[in-house]
Structure 1
Amino acid sequence: MGFTKIQAAAHAVPERIMTNDDLSLIMETSDEWIRSRTGIRQRHIVSENETTSDLATEVAKKLLEKSGFTAESVDFIIIATMTAESVMPSSAAKVQSNIGAINAFAYDLTAACSGFVFALSQADKLIGSGAYHRGIVIGAESMSKVLDWSDRSTAVLFGDGAGGVLLDDSGESPLVLSEKLQTDGSRAEKLTCSPMSQDFLKMDGRAIFDFAVRDVPKNIVEVVGDNEVDYFLLHQANERILDKMAKKLGQPREKFLQNLQNYGNTSAASIPLLLSEMMENGTVYQGQSLLITGFGGGLTWGSMLLHI
């Protein structure tokens, strides 16, 4: 039995692009206003008939194609999402059926923007148990379906997309060097969303910004310790947050990879989408040390130091 290894990464986004200028046609905002406050220039939006499980299925198929593994060889599928189109069946069950992973158990995990980090942690433990050898972990969101498009404070921030990894037990050394996952339910009302009761996403923007730049860096420092980090792949919420994080941690800003300008905040999809893009363009490759950090609703936050 070996250690957990990332065999492939992949991502998928809807074809439809909504620019800041497009948003200015439906609400009182502008490209300059959005870019100066968030760094976001555009986002991808699902069509009326496109679902979270559709995006996740596309990622799963790409992962199998890239890795060369069969769907039948997959032992488990975990989908991190807060925008599943149904509670039952889960998005993961739909993906399992769509790709023909007949031997895999599958479930959704809900931890908002921290979802992929929480899910990857679980997957690493499943493989580490020796009982399971191969799994798929995907973050997938259709955030556009839970937004109040008349609320400028939230609608300009989010986008839709999916990203994920295929893991197996062929690693020669540990994938996860250290980790820490956290939740503070006492601050839950600062960021809420209840689609089942038609309650759109609501956010206390100032409180969430302060949480991100005060609590999350402490978590990162504890996880990193004295280790060198090649790149920081943080949840892609806001360019200003990434700027503040770099300063707080005393790290060069260029170590904090970013693609939020093209996708907006895609919640649980943001980290794997970023990882996939950066692996595709050669920025991130095997042998590097990466720090991944998610933070968001719950409130939840967590970091993992990976050696890929």
Structure 2
Amino acid sequence: MQLVWLGPAVGVLVGYGLAGGGALGLLGAVAGGLLGRQFDIIVQLSNGLYQMGHRQSSKRGGDIQAAFFECTFLCLGRIAKCDGPIKPEEIQWTERVMDRMALSPQQKQNAIRLFDRGKDLKIDISKELQNLHDKCGRRITLLQMFMEILVQGALADGDMHQREWAVLTHIAGSIRFRVKRLEAIVRSSQAFQEFKSQHSETGTEDDPQKDLLRAYQVLAIEPTVTDEELKKAYRRLMNQHHPDKLVSKGLPESMVEMAKERTQAIRAAYEEIRNYRAEIADAG
């Protein structure tokens, strides 16, 4: 129950006291009561606007997550099918995305339904992509994460086919995502997969220079960058892929594990480059 009498009551007492009591005090009390009531109205209006804004913000977050989920599996199905029969690696990647999202049985069924719908190349999915663009607005980091998932799906079989690239560029155009950004994601994702594979397999040997080059590619920079440029690139990528920031922008919380996996690779690549440069400096 709201204390609708509190403002007027305080106003009456303050008005009466300031007017010095007596007849003037009564007039002051009336004026104070009116001002107190106006104050209550303003407070209630402010609270109402805050609660309305909070509800709208929560709804926007839910809308973004729903659009992200829908387009992710629609487009994974489209990419898997566009270059011919779907390969086992492409199915495995889609299942891995589902596992990383920790989907419930019902959500998995919805994801499979969307994937199957995306496989039908005759179905137009431009409305869904437009909806994703509209819901995300200027949240470019969400669209970046979305395209990274699709690129890794296209690279699941170890190669980027011409038709897959055509579909990716079409999707990018539909959500106003620049092709240059997409090209950078492809290069970074290729290096990311190789770098992660190399660091997850114990006992394997690789050319240190080749591994170092992959680390630079994961950070999307050239080996000639300065230490300051290296640090800036690292911080920029960590900021783009920080799980908490992505969730605050609307990324489904179930996809946090995928974001963490990316940040771990970014951090490992950065440390490898730093260690190499430190060794060179010590040797010199």
Q: Same fold (TM over 0.5)?
A: no
- More helix per residue: 2
Larger Rg belongs to: 2
Give the TM-score of the pair, scaled to structure 1: 0.27
The structure in which a higher percent of residues are strand is 1
Provide TM-score, normalisation by structure 2. Answer: 0.29
Q: Which has the higher contact order (CA 8 A, sep 6+)?
A: 1
